[in-house]
Amino acid sequence: MAVVVGVFALAAAVYQMHSEKNYKELILKTRLEGYADRIAIFGPEVALGEDVRVTMLSSDGIVLYDSEEPELSSNHSNRPEILQCHEGQPSWAIRHSETEGRDYCYLAKKDGDRIIRVAVPYEVDLKHFLRSDTIYIVVGVLLLLLLLGLIGHSMLRGYRSLEKALHAVESERRNSQRLKRDMTHNIAHELRTPVSSLRGYLEALTDFEDMDEDRRKLFTQRAYLQTLRLSDLLRDIGLVTKIEESPEMIKVEELYLKEIVDSVLDEFAEKLSSRSMSVENSIPESLRMTGSPSLVYAIFRNLVENSYKYAGDGAAIHIEAMPGKCIYYDTGIGVPPEMLDKIFERFYRIPGMVGTDWNEDTGSGLGLSVVRNAVSFHGGTITARLREEGGLEFEMSLKLY
């Protein structure tokens, strides 16, 4: 019985690991394919990030452009991702680059008479992202040891204990599968809307060559907005995944909170001004904490972005902090009281709340989930309340000194 149950547990673990690895690869492929689609529209010089390598090739594999080697002009027709690249079907490969001397994740996609190839370095953080978790193997081994211990007891007690253990494991497995299935379903649902919209705009631009210039410009702008929405969604999914699954990979250092908040406000200055919104950053310059600059930036970026999208024209934003906690609030329209407890849930969006671009809902429903996870990573908690004067207030317990 111990051997049979142990084999079953290990088989379930292998299946879970395989499914998770495929899911993570799908996220990375979608991200790289999104880069390729942006390059197809805006050209190879479009800003994608420092670690993204862009190569343009002719249909027979001759390099026309390479962001890392501008003078390079060689034939890459024998590269695996180029050999497997067919019309409408992107190809994918993880291999060593002889040109750069390190490993890359490559994705190639045909675009007319040329091939667009994008790549990101296959380094420690990316390898960890693609590697399946080993928790299932650990659970299987612990279960096997538990079963071997129970066999040493009386048959009746051993049988009852084993029955309870198997029931607990099965419940855990089903719960894990349900959570993963729900997450996959939500991601697929969130991706479907911007992808469908983007496809519709691009088909219209392609099929109607005599379209007037104003409408063509409008469709192009809307298509670009959907690519931004996809990028934001993938960014938030990646951030939540990294916090929950690879917290040890996140680097921490001593930082000044006011500097990071100021950089967020600089990023949104033009957008906030366009809506006549004012900002007051009352954080003392000497207030410090030990944490991840990127996660602290993500906390305030998502809070400010939510205020910009949903608070309303003329709203004010106020941020203050003191040793132990930080308070953020805006004077906007707030949220319905009965939905206050749900705003930190993944993919939860309040019915009727709309964004600022063409009156469409542009949120992914992950912003406040990212905030909660980032605060939790720093050992703190976050609560939300409606202000009597109007608007929404967040209080975060952070180890500030």
Domain with residue 342: its CATH number is 3.30.565.10
Looking at this protein, which amino acid is placed at residue 291? G
Residue 315: exposure state from Cβ atoms within 10 A (0-12, 13-18, ≥19): buried
Q: CB-based burial of residue 256 (10 Å sphere; 0-12 exposed, 13-18 middle, 19+ buried)?
A: middle
pLDDT at 214: 85
Q: Is the pTM of this model over 0.85?
A: no
Pick from 144-158, 210-224, 273-287: least confident: 144-158
Across 305-331, average pLDDT: 92
* Position 148 in a domain: no
Phi, psi of 12 (to 5 degrees): -65, -40
**Domain annotation covers residue 66:** yes
pLDDT at 335: 87
In a domain, 190, yes or no: no
Length of the chain: 401
The pLDDT value given to residue 279: 93
- Residue range of the domain that includes 108: 45-128
Which of 213-227, 247-261, 357-371 has the weakest average pLDDT? 357-371
Instruction: Quickly count: other Cβ atoms within 10 Å of residue 380's Cβ.
Output: 21
The total domain count for the chain is: 2
Calculate mean pLDDT across residues 314-326: 94
Q: What CATH number is given to the structural domain containing 116? A: 3.30.450.20
Query: Per residue in 22-67, pLDDT tens?
Result: 788 888 888 888 888 888 888 888 767 768 888 888 888 888 888 8
Residue 6: inside a domain, yes or no? no
Task: Give yes or no for residue 105 having a pLDDT over 60.
Answer: yes
Specify the 3-state DSSP secondary structure of 281.
strand
Q: Report yes or no on 15 lying in a domain.
A: no
Higher pLDDT, 167 or 231: 167
Q: What angle do CA 276, 383, 365 make, to 5 degrees?
A: 65
Q: Residue 365, by phi and psi: left (phi above 0), alpha (psi -120 to 50) or beta?
A: left
Residue 2, CA distances (Å) to 15, 88, 171, 173, 322 in order: 20, 50, 19, 18, 56
Q: Residue 361: its pLDDT value, please?
A: 47
- Predicted pLDDT of residue 356: 45
Assess if residue 36 is contained within a domain. Answer: no
pLDDT (average), residues 302-311 = 89
Q: Is residue 295 part of a domain?
A: yes
- 377 pLDDT above the threshold of 70: yes
Last residue of a domain, which of 95, 128, 161? 128
Q: Are 320 and 396 in contact (CB under 8 A)?
A: no
Nearest to 367 by CA among 384, 342, 346, 382: 346
Name the residue with tokens 């001593």.
Answer: 254
pLDDT band at 175 (very low <50, low <70, confident <90, very high): low
Is residue 215 situated within a structural domain? no
In this structure, the number of other CB atoms found within 10 A of the CB of residue 164 comes to: 11
Q: Which residue has the higher pLDDT, 130 or 29?
A: 29
Q: Which of 128, 158, 173 is the last residue of a domain?
A: 128
pLDDT band at 121 (very low <50, low <70, confident <90, very high): confident
Residues 6+ apart with CB under 8 A from 348: 342, 365
Who wins on pLDDT, 229 or 342?
342
Instruction: Work out the angle between the directed axes of helices 2-42 and 135-151 (0-180°, nearest 10).
Output: 170
Q: What's residue 131's pLDDT?
A: 64
Percent of the chain with pLDDT over 90: 18
Do 120 and 259 have their domain in common? no
Strands 278-281 and 316-322, how do they pair? parallel
Which of the listed residues 69, 94, 128 is the one where a domain comes to its end? 128
Mean confidence (pLDDT) of the chain: 79
